[in-house]
């Protein structure tokens, strides 16, 4: 089932439509898919996903998310429950100085009965592996932990779609791994994951990669098809993943691997095959 379906979406931050942040974007995301939207700063990826939960008003085109027309003002509220979002800066999304109260914020907005709240806060914390941190102040946590708490606040509402709007951009490698691990776990549990990033390594494990540049979708397809395409990635201003770069460098030096590897493991495998051949 198609969960996000957009046609010809255009958007401008200027009053007079003098320059467009999005230009004629078509998009389709299936239920349960793990989609990575990849692009440089200013490519329009963040602007695009802010349409999915109607944080930005659709100006041109059509967009339906979870069968809801995002232009329908009446259903925006329901839409935001079904489509949760974790933002880039962990420090700018907390409303309370106690973890459990912050997670309860969304539940309170949806008038969840008071007696149900503690249990839902607990299970959300367990999902992000932060049990035992209920009484802590968010500012005493590490970057990765903060993002996991912010994610717990979103998960407490039991959304269908979870959008990570560059949620790992401000984290150190350890923190990025923590968040990536939880992303994969949620995907396995059947959630639809949409992650925005400019780290090409994070796109390797996705079901689908959507490559954006200058407000347009350049290409969309499997990580293998997108991330190994030298010209396409160059056009988007992205660096190739290390194994892919190595594959092309080796080829230039006259060493031909059978397949272009995406991960370190695949690279090792290819090199081993090369050895056994020679």
Tokens for 45, please give them: 């990826």
Complete DSSP assignment for 125-180:
HHHTT-TT-TTS-GGGS-HHHHHHHHHHHHHTT--SEEEEESTTTTS-HHHHHHHH
Tokens for 38, please give them: 């990849």
Burial track 36-50 (b if 16+ CB lie within 10 A, e otherwise): bbbbeeebbbbbbbb
Among 45, 51, 80, 191, binds another protein (CB under 8 A): 80
Among 91, 249, 264, 265, binds another protein (CB under 8 A): 91
Among 4, 36, 154, 200, binds another protein (CB under 8 A): 154
Per CB under 8 A, which of residues 207..266 are in contact with another protein? none
Among 2, 59, 95, 225, binds another protein (CB under 8 A): 95
Closer residue to another protein, CB minimum distance, 71 or 259: 71
* CA–CA dist 66, 70 (Å, integer): 10
Give the residue ranges of DSSP H helices in the chain.
45-52, 76-82, 99-109, 117-127, 143-155, 173-188, 223-227, 230-235, 242-252, 264-277
The yes or no reply on residue 144 touching another protein (CB under 8 A) is no
The yes or no reply on residue 177 touching another protein (CB under 8 A) is no
Q: What angle do CA 85, 99, 51 make, to 5 degrees?
A: 10
The yes or no reply on residue 39 touching another protein (CB under 8 A) is no
The yes or no reply on residue 35 touching another protein (CB under 8 A) is no
Closer residue to another protein, CB minimum distance, 89 or 123: 89
The bridge status of strand 34-38 relative to strand 208-213 is: parallel
Which of 1-9, 137-145, 172-180, 233-241 is the region at the interface with another protein (rule: CB under 8 A)?
A: 137-145
Closer residue to another protein, CB minimum distance, 102 or 229: 102
Per CB under 8 A, which of residues 43..72 are in contact with another protein? 50, 53, 55
The yes or no reply on residue 172 touching another protein (CB under 8 A) is no
Which of 17-25, 89-97, 123-131, 241-249 is the region at the interface with another protein (rule: CB under 8 A)?
A: 89-97
């Amino acid at each position: 089932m198609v969960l996000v379906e957009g046609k010809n979406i255009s958007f401008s931050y200027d009053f007079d439509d003098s320059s467009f942040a999005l230009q004629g974007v078509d998009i389709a995301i299936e239920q349960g898919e793990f989609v990575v939207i990849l692009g440089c700063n200013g490519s329009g990826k963040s602007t695009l996903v802010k349409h999915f939960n109607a944080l930005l008003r659709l100006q041109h085109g059509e967009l339906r998310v979870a069968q809801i027309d995002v232009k329908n003002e009446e259903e925006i509220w329901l839409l935001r429950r079904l489509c949760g979002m974790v933002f880039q800066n962990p420090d700018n999304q907390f409303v309370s100085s106690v973890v459990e109260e912050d997670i309860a914020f969304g539940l309170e907005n949806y008038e969840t009965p008071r007696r149900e709240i503690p249990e839902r806060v607990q299970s959300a914390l367990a999902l992000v592996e932060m049990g035992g941190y209920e009484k802590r102040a968010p500012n005493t946590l590490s970057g990765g932990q903060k993002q996991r708490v912010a994610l717990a606040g979103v998960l407490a509402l039991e959304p269908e779609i979870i959008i990570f709007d560059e949620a790992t951009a401000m984290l150190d490698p350890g923190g990025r791994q923590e968040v990536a691990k939880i992303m994969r776990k949620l995907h396995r549990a059947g959630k639809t994951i949409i992650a925005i990033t400019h780290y090409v390594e994070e796109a390797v494990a996705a079901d689908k990669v959507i490559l954006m540049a200058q407000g347009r979708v350049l290409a969309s397809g499997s990580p293998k098809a997108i991330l190994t395409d030298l010209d396409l990635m160059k056009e988007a201003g992205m660096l190739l993943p290390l194994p892919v770069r190595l594959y092309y460098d080796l080829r230039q030096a006259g060493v031909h691997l059978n397949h272009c590897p995406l991960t370190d493991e695949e690279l090792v495998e290819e090199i081993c095959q090369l050895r056994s051949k020679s």
